[in-house]
A and B are shown apart, each in its own frame.
Chain A
């Protein structure tokens, strides 16, 4: 077992340690090794959050556990072509590790590190190695100072000598190195690993005037928009646009649900800006949703019809290229930049000065309780009315209400007990999943039927495409009915007396 790493603030401290050790041992430096590697992660730090570090060095790729520094997986490729997505790696144990973590997110360059490892051999009078000291230095690309660390490496059967080495290290009071040196360097470079997340994380004081609380939430939502825009423009992966759009939707939902307490003019103007931002980006996102389903769709149809699915996706990819070009053009236009500017202006304004509605000065805690409870009551009322014969539209309406409640719970979760909110969100999530799947299946069927109507079956190829779409729609319809039949169970699970009581105690 190798020992723990110790931090060395200054490399000259090693000379101090050496002079200590030379009292007991003959010291022999082993040849040092130098390696250079790149660290990659997704924009939202998925690997880091999973406790991993992805290392790339030429043909070698390695996943390392951040805590233990043990290798989790590795692959050696026969080329050093750039790998952007997990599906760019050959099917292997390695790609199987990445898939569930990375999903559709692209790998981005985080940092390039040069590592230098030296082994100091501690020898006895027979010139036999009785212990080792491993010294590592990590250099980033910039002129920031390198990070050093060392650790004792025992040789079996030489306990006494190891104790001497350990005592010499202890005498210099080196602190234990807890964080991976790679991430220390990243932080020196001014980046906080794991900092970006699309999740809402806002801490509000209960007494905060509502107008100011809304401004603060908007500020965090607009920040997410700004963070994602470069990735949207460069089209790095589908999730930049998705996160951008979610922030737009959340903003609309927030402003819409707190309509009465804010200045109506500002609200109306911002809502219009947000609406147009949603419209500009909607088409590409819709197509992205289908493109992400390619492998799922392909598995839904019999093998003979799969070439038809390939054709379908070829067309969809082409459509997406056009849609993306149109979107980028719109984003470079006057309207979009003035929308972004309107949002920026609003979040840097003094909302209390600009509004004189009576609600704007009320404490957010009270307002939050009212809007959450109102939305919750509406969901229960609507949900109870749904039977097996209720038209689909009613379920779609309920889905929208649930989404609005979900956003509210997330915006205001800091005002209420954490554990209780977690439970509420978890239960709501199950209901949303059912309704979401139901909606997705409706939309997908509709889209496919539209697509089917737009093609003229003149060639055998197109016939195959049509047949594939037909098979797909049939499968989706079966799933659609199944999800629908599940609704009543899911709703009963949501609408339990316990949950009702929880909502009542928390929000009234």
Chain B
């Protein structure tokens, strides 16, 4: 099983859109895939038209086991299941503080899906918190969407520094540019600058695309309802790059 996290310190950078589309594309190859919506806003959950069960909350999530299994819902697409987010997830940080192994809790929790799913996608809440640290520990690859601005680069450097300071595996970090407007000179320059300084940068960029924003209206992955749009093509290319270059060699290995 490979765990792929979509993470960003900032919000509104295309994190959920990427997570939903990559998970959909992974499942399209008839590979059992689970998307864990960890963001209390529950945007991924919403995109798949799923209503979380009233009985499920962060407490049950942290307890793990059968309670989590029961909360999983099949999406409209074969091979793709979803663990819905609940508003109570906003307290996950505080709750994690009170449990043992507070940094590796998530990794232990997700281990039960080994064998059941081939890919596990994590749609993470923004900010650097104890939840994020759990994600950093658990994930095999952390995909970080960046809008090509100076501020974004600064934030990314901070994240990188945090990994260094916390003795985390920096090679897991894979930034990529999202909401790119190729007409904008500043976007081009920023992408170039990042490419020069970071070898882990993914080649694929996701263009700014009105269709992506409309996903909230379709309530379905863009790659499913508009497979030929620019945005969909970019997501497909991104998944191709991630699955063949980053996850290759990992697969079947564990």
A residues contacting B by CB (< 8 A) are 121, 126-129, 154-158
Contacts and interface: CB of A to CB of B under 8 A. Distances in A.
A455 to B, nearest CB: 57
B74 interface: yes
B81 A156 contact: yes
Contacts of B74: 154-158
B47 to A, nearest CB: 11
Nearest to B76: A129
B174 interface: no
A157 B81 CA distance: 9
Nearest to A155: B74
B188 interface: no
Nearest to B83: A157
A155 B73 CA distance: 7
23 contacts: A121-B76, A126-B49, A126-B50, A126-B51, A127-B49, A128-B48, A128-B50, A128-B51, A128-B76, A129-B76, A154-B74, A155-B74, A156-B72, A156-B74, A156-B81, A157-B53, A157-B70, A157-B71, A157-B73, A157-B74, A157-B81, A158-B73, A158-B74
Is chain A's binding surface mostly helix, strand, loop or mixed? loop
Interface of B: 48-51, 53, 70-74, 76, 81, 219
Contact of A156 (B48, B73, B219): B73
B30 to A, nearest CB: 13
A229 to B, nearest CB: 49
A129 B80 CA distance: 13
A156 B49 CA distance: 14
A121 B74 CA distance: 13
A36 to B, nearest CB: 23
Contacts of A154: 74
A126 B48 CA distance: 10
Contacts of B48: 128
- Give the 10 A-B residue pairs with the shortest CB-CB distance, closest first: A157-B73, A156-B74, A128-B49, A155-B74, A126-B49, A129-B76, A156-B81, A157-B72, A156-B72, A157-B74
Contacts of A129: 76
Contacts of A156: 72-74, 81
A157 B69 CA distance: 9
Contacts of A157: 53, 70-74, 81
Contacts of A155: 73-74
B162 to A, nearest CB: 36
Contacts of A126: 49-51, 219
With most chain B CB atoms within 10 A of its CB, the pick from A121, A155, A156, A157 is A157
A156 B51 CA distance: 13
A154 B74 CA distance: 9
Nearest to A153: B78
A157 B51 CA distance: 11
Contacts of B76: 121, 128-129
Given A156-B73, A156-B74, A157-B74, 9 more contacts: A126-B49, A127-B49, A128-B76, A129-B76, A155-B73, A156-B72, A156-B81, A157-B81, A158-B73
Nearest to A126: B49
Nearest to A154: B74
A128 B219 CA distance: 10
With most chain B CB atoms within 10 A of its CB, the pick from A126, A128, A154 is A128
Contacts of B73: 155-158
B157 to A, nearest CB: 41
B133 to A, nearest CB: 29
With most chain A CB atoms within 10 A of its CB, the pick from B48, B51, B74, B76 is B74
A160 to B, nearest CB: 11
Contacts of B81: 156-157
With most chain A CB atoms within 10 A of its CB, the pick from B48, B71, B72, B76 is B76
A158 B74 CA distance: 8
A421 B200 CA distance: 76
Contacts of B219: 126-127
A95 to B, nearest CB: 25
A128 B82 CA distance: 13
B150 to A, nearest CB: 41
A158 B219 CA distance: 19
With most chain A CB atoms within 10 A of its CB, the pick from B48, B49, B50 is B49
Nearest to B84: A157
Nearest to A159: B70
Nearest to B53: A157
A274 B76 CA distance: 69
A154 to B, nearest CB: 8
A266 to B, nearest CB: 68
A347 B51 CA distance: 76
A70 to B, nearest CB: 15
A485 B70 CA distance: 68
B61 to A, nearest CB: 15
A154 B72 CA distance: 13
A155 B50 CA distance: 12
Contacts of B51: 126, 128
Contacts of B70: 157
B165 to A, nearest CB: 40
A285 B81 CA distance: 61
Nearest to A129: B76
Nearest to B51: A126
A422 B76 CA distance: 56
Contacts of B72: 156-157
Contacts of B49: 126-128
A127 B76 CA distance: 10
Contacts of A128: 48-51, 76
A157 B219 CA distance: 19
A110 to B, nearest CB: 30
A498 to B, nearest CB: 52
A442 to B, nearest CB: 55
A129 B76 CA distance: 5
A128 B45 CA distance: 11
Contacts of A127: 49, 219
B42 to A, nearest CB: 13
B46 to A, nearest CB: 10
B126 to A, nearest CB: 26
Nearest to B220: A127
A158 B70 CA distance: 10
A155 B79 CA distance: 10
